[in-house]
Amino acid sequence: MGIFNFIKRNKKAKSEKTEKRSSEQKLFSEKAIEVIIPTFEKFGFKKHRIEIGEHSSTIIYRKEKQYLKITSTTYPRDYPYCYNIILGEGNSEDFYEYDWNSIALWKFKEKIEPNLKISEYTFPTEKGVKPSLENANSELCKFGLTFLNGDLTLFNEIRKEQNQNRNRKSYKIHSQDKNGIYKTMNEPKSEEQKKKYS
What is the model's pTM? 0.80
Q: In terms of Cα–Cα distance, which of 154, 140, 135 is closest to 61?
A: 140
CB atoms within 10 A of CB 149: 10
> What are 101-128's pLDDT values in tens digits?
999 999 999 999 999 888 899 999 888 9
Domain borders along the chain are: 12-152, 170-198
Q: Which of 19-28, 82-91, 102-111, 189-198 has the lowest average pLDDT?
A: 189-198
User: CA-based angle 195:146:97, to the nearest 5?
Assistant: 30
For residue range 10-26, list pLDDT tens digits in order: 444 443 454 688 999 99
CB 95 within 8 A of CB 3: no
